A and B are shown apart, each in its own frame.
Chain A
C-alpha cells in the first residue's frame, strides 16, 4: 500500500535489480535515482554532469528503456531492473566498449558511460544503424571533447559495419 510513504521524511524500502544483482535499500522519497546508484550502491560509473536532464551522462537502461537517472526518483524504480555501464564488460570489454577504445571515441571520458548506454539501447533495437540513426540515438548525450564523430564511428564499427577514416 502506497499510503505509508506519504510522510515526507519517511524512507521506504526499495528493491531493485541492477546488472543482475538484487539490492534492497531504505530510500528517502526525495532521492534521485542517480544518487541511489552512485552513493548507496557504489556504482559510480554513471555520472552526474548537468543534473538538469540535458547532458545524458547519467543515462541508464530501466526495464529495457533508456532514461536519464537524474530525472527519476529512486522510489520510482522499486521492483524494476536497471542496467548501468558497469554491466557491459564481462571480464573483458564489450565489443562496443572495445570499439570506443579502438576509434578514440573518448577523451576525458566523462560522457562515455551515458554514450555507451545510449549506444547499447540503439544496437539492441537496430543492429545496423546508419550514421544519422546513431546521431539521433545519442542526441540526448553531450560530449565536449571529441566532437561526436569518433563516437558515431565507434558505434558503427561495433555494429560490424565498415567505417571510413
Chain B
C-alpha cells in the first residue's frame, strides 16, 4: 500500500520531539503505529510529518514506587508491560494488555498509543478511568496532569493537544480490579468492554458504548445493583456490523456485572 508522502523525524529526547511538533503544524507523533499506519493507508489521516517516538528512551519503562504507585512510560509496548515485574503490582494491566490483538501487534503497539488513539473499542481507556490513572501531558511550555476521566474527549480525541505529548501514566496502587469484554473472536476488536475497580467505592467503566468511556457508579456491589445502574445510564451505543445499538446496550449490563463481580471478589467480598 502506498501512503501519501510524509516527512519523518526520529528524535532522541522528549524536548526534541516537542520542538518538532511545535515547529510543524501538520506534524503528528508516531508511537507503535499499529493504528496510525493503518489509518494512513486508508488516508483517513494524512500528517505532513511523522515524529517517531520509538527512540526516546525517557518515554519507555515502568517504575514501581515504594507505595505501590506505578509510573508507566507511554512508549512502553504492551508486550513489555506484560513482561515487566513492576506491572504485576496492578495485575489488571497485565491481564488486559494480554488480550489486545495478537503478539505482533502487542510487540509494537504501546500503552500510550492505545490511550491517545482514543478509539472507543480500545482496551485501556476504560481500565485507566476505572483505576483512576493520571496522565501527564507535556508541551513546549510546561506540563500538566489530567485525571483519566478527563483525558478522553471524543472519538480519536484526547486532552493531548496539538504540539503536546503524553509523557507519563501514573497508576495508583490497588489490586481489586476487573475486566470483561465481548469481542469479535478471541482477543479481537471489542464489541463492548467494561473495567471495574473496587479499591474503595466500586467504579465501573464501559467502553464501546459511546465516544468516551462511560463511568457507572452503582449503589451496591451486587449484580442487580450494577445492572440497574447501567440501565439508569440510558446508553445509546453506536450500531455497526458487529452489533446493533440494542445488542450493545444489552451486553453492557452483562460485561459491567462480570467486571464488577471480578473486582469485588478480589476485594474480598
Contact = CB atoms under 8 A, between A and B. Distances in A.
B7 A7 contact: yes
Given A8-B5, A10-B7, A52-B41, A68 B48 contact: no
A53 B34 contact: yes
B9 A66 contact: no
Interface in B178-218: 186-187
A66 B38 contact: no
A76 B38 CA distance: 16
A119 to B, nearest CB: 11
Interface residues of A, number: 35
A59 interface: yes
Contacts of B33: 71-73, 76
Interface string A121-160: 1000000000000001101100000000000000000000
Contacts of B108: 65, 67-68, 71-72
Contact of B11 (A2, A52, A121): A2
A75 B38 CA distance: 17
Interface residues of B, number: 34
A53 B38 contact: yes
B41 A30 contact: no
B57 to A, nearest CB: 15
14 contacts: A2-B10, A5-B7, A5-B10, A6-B49, A10-B7, A12-B8, A29-B5, A29-B7, A29-B50, A53-B34, A56-B104, A67-B108, A75-B8, A118-B104
Interface of B: 1-11, 16, 20, 24, 33-34, 37-38, 41, 48-50, 52, 54, 79, 101-105, 107-108, 186-187
